[in-house]
Structure 1
Amino acid sequence: MAFSFRALVLAVALGSAGTQSVAQNATIAFGGLKQDTTLPVEVQADQLSVNNADGTAVFTGNVLVGQGEMRLTAAEVRVKYAADGKAIDQLLAVGGVTISNLADAAEAREAVYTIDTGMVVMTGDVLLTQGASAIAGQKLTLDLKAGTGLMEGRVSTTFVPGGD
């Protein structure tokens, strides 16, 4: 099943008096997290460990990653560099991961952000909030360039009638 988030909310509002709907997959508009993935990535943390042998860096403790208006927070973020060792290829975040931008926010246990493609895959008890509305599932794949997402794995949504 594929729906836009607004269409999903409208369908639930018109189809039942309840405030919860369940599906296996839900395509959602994610305009608030549309992101220019060419912007610089800034990282703050309590500690940094670098391993030149495998081309990784690990930030731990109150990690905050910023790129434009987008913010990612987590307990730990592993940075995987491209083959040239200069550009960041991926950010692998674990431990209370939150990605936010403007009115949209998504939480999960883990997230992998592939910088070049602008794809973020969040897994483990994912919760997406857009204003007063929320949608939950086990896996959320975000396309930051397009501003869209796909929630999978026993999707459940709660909405506020008249909200976004």
Structure 2
Amino acid sequence: MSKLRIFLISLALGVAAHALPVSAANLAFGNSRDTSNLPVQVEADQLDVNQKDGTATFSGNVQIAQGEMLLSAPTVLVVYAEDSKKIVRLTASGGVTVVNGPDAAEAQNADYDIDAGTVLLTGNVLVTQGKNVMSGDRVVLNLDAGTAQVGGRVRTTLETQE
């Protein structure tokens, strides 16, 4: 095998390690578990309630906390169950940040399914864990399991030294 061919194969393997066209990659996210049963606390500059469709729209510096999980966004639509005042879904838009323990994620939009304990992040998703950074087209955070699944074109930088 020629030296050029060995170099090209080595180069290709090195590049692949930093920018994998992977359909999904798994990673841990946060250190709290089983948070979906905890109360959801919401703060915002404004609240608009729609009794007919069972929704509420929080806008202006929205801050949501549930256990160790913190979510912030300019606008959050809250969907209540038809038969109760229980929150079933939060849809955040306009630039979203989710922090859970030492980990953080940013995206354009987030859809939080309270009962499933999952947050779907879409649009320029960036996940940071210490010095490690991963980006993808979409990320599903499982807050109860403390895991995340990154899908689409996944790009990552992993620090090997502390």
Q: Give TM-score, length-normalised by structure 1.
A: 0.84
* Matched residue type, 1:50: V
Moved over 4 A (4+): none
* Matched residue type, 1:36: T
More strand by share: 1
SS in 1 for 2:20: strand
* Matched residue type, 2:19: S
Task: Give, in whole Å, the separation in 2 of the partners of 1:112 and 1:155.
Answer: 20
Number of corresponding residues = 149
* Matched residue type, 2:134: I
Task: Give, in whole Å, the separation in 1 of the partners of 2:62 and 2:46.
Answer: 9
Aligned to 1:23: 21
Quick check: which has more Rg, 1 or 2?
Answer: 2
Question: What residue ranges of structure 1 are gaps of 5+ in the alignment?
Answer: 1-14
* Matched residue type, 1:87: K
Alignment of 1:42-53 (within 5 A): 42-53=41-52
Deviates more, 1:30-39 or 1:44-53: 30-39
Aligned to 1:87: 86
What is the CA-CA distance between 1:150 and the residue it aligns to? 0.8
Aligned to 2:101: 102
Aligned to 1:7: none
Question: What residue ranges of structure 2 are gaps of 5+ in the alignment?
Answer: 1-12
Task: Give, in whole Å, the separation in 2 of the partners of 1:32 and 1:108.
Answer: 20
Task: Give, in whole Å, the separation in 2 of the partners of 1:19 and 1:51.
Answer: 49
1:18–1:117: structure 2 CA closer, same or farther, 3 Å change rule? Answer: closer
* Matched residue type, 1:147: G
Paired residues of 1:55 and 1:85 also in contact (CA < 8 A): no
Deviation string 1:113-148 (CA, Å, 9 cap, x unpaired) is 011110110000100000110100010011111111
SS in 1 for 2:31: helix
